[in-house]
Amino acid sequence: MIPVLFVLGVTAIKDAFEDHRRFVSDKRVNNSTCRVYNKQSGRYVKTLWKHVRVGDIVHLSCNEVIPADILLLRSSDDQGLCYIETANLDGETNLKQRQVVRGYAKQSEVFHPLSFTSTVECDPPNCKIYRFHGFICHPSGEKVPVTSDNLLLRDCVLKNADYIEGVVLYAGFETKAMLNNSGPRYKRSKLERFMNRDIIWCIVILLFLCSIGALGSALWLRSYEHRKEVIFIAYEHDARYNPAIEGFIAFWTYIIILQVMIPLSLYVSIEIIKLGQVFHIHEDIELFDERSNRRLECRALNIPEELGQVEYIFSDKTGTLTENHMVFRRCTIGGRDFNHHHPSVSEGEENDVKIRSYTYSPKPPSKDDAFTLNPKLQRELSSMDYQLRLDTGCREVVLTRESQRIQDFFLLMATCNTVIVSKYPHKDLMNGSGLYINNGGAFSTSPERHRAQRNHPTAPSPPSAIPPSLRTSSPTESRCSTPVRPTKLPLPFLGLRTSPARK
């Protein structure tokens, strides 16, 4: 029994380690914080995810993970839009658009949690992440329909919005993300299934050999008329002596003798080898991604050997095992073919040439910030007419035929696409304590007042005028790590006009 207990003990320790890792991960998620409106204090306060309840009004910043299924009631966008990244939910990396409930988009500037007195009627919790129907019943009796376009799902990431506010509809295990999570299931590798089958065959052979030995022992003892003629029998001096009983005892004797046929220590050896393989996978420098500063993580410790048995990979869609990476190869303008293929990269390989770009800054760009062109494209450009404007003596700008084609080409490239342009980094003015940041201080004011102060700037208040309970040294509690929006617009660059900032 000792070898069996040892094998089971090693397996139990490994499973306990996996359960502990899962427990730590769950605890980290449950203890994550978000900002929930508190009626007593009259502001948003930090609240743990596990304390978020249905009906709470939640305030989220850009790049913040959504803690529950939330109905969107307010967005910093003028059109009442925001975007979410659902990679943690369905694996898709493209952003999905969500919009404020009809009737609240125009009121987003004056929305306040205390003013929300409507009732939400919606579907019961279900696992269909792309299906949602319901109504918002206002006190006046008006019913406004809501769909999945107004719902922000848990585990998604907020994008392209300074902040949003919404009411929690599903929380905890009733969220669509949790209902789609059926829990961890035990996975067996091909090697483990093969080993289990061989162990069963070893047990069958062991029982067969022990049965043959027990039967032979009983027949052999039956051939003797007197038991005293046979030595080393169990009931030699007992009246209960019987060849059948002696055969039964011999069966278990052979079990003890031949049990070495079952390789129990093989389980321990394989478990130790798996742990060593997982360690080398984690510490492999070739599997480290410098861009995301992340290394490979092995989540299933019992099937790492399956990596060496993969022969074919069937990918269901782009984004699962492949990457949507658009690289400029060539273009044709007015019959001229401009190839931007790097000479050091073969046709079937990825173009890993990094072209440095820069955003506008008051300082002039350095030589390191310049764009580099391959020799072929540079020769093609040198043969073109660089005279983009013809000096005709009048104010109207007249372009050459070649220049007009170039301008039309780049104009179409800039407009005929679905790219979402973000002119300024998204910045939420509310810090983690529910206070709005302004000039290094924190004020318990509304964003409308702060917006009015930004549009009509006045002299900053002296530090002594700030109540001690509202003073902060720096906005270190902000949940959004993006830089502050610049106060001055950049100067026109390369002859292009810049549109005024949004208000």
Catalytic residues: 316
Structure tokens at 503: 């208000």
- Dihedral sign of CA atoms 104, 107, 113, 116 in order: negative
Bridge partners for 167 per DSSP: 57, 71
CA of residue 415 relative to chain centroid, distance: 31
DSSP 430: B
C-alpha dihedral over 259, 264, 266, 271, to 10 degrees? 180
C-alpha dihedral over 261, 265, 267, 271, to 10 degrees? -160
Q: Are 470 and 443 in contact (CB under 8 A)?
A: yes
> CA 9, 13, 17: angle at the middle one, nearest 5?
170
> CA 115, 122, 87: angle at the middle one, nearest 5?
95
How far apart are alpha carbons 278 and 311 in whole angstroms?
21
Residue type, 77: D
Cα dist from 241 to 220, 227, 229, 238, whole Å: 14, 8, 13, 6
Question: Read out DSSP for 248-317?
Answer: HHHHHHHHHHHGGGS-THHHHHHHHHHHHHHHHHHH-GGGEETTTTEE-----TT-GGGGGG------SS
Packing angle, helices 265-283 and 2-30, rounded to 10: 30
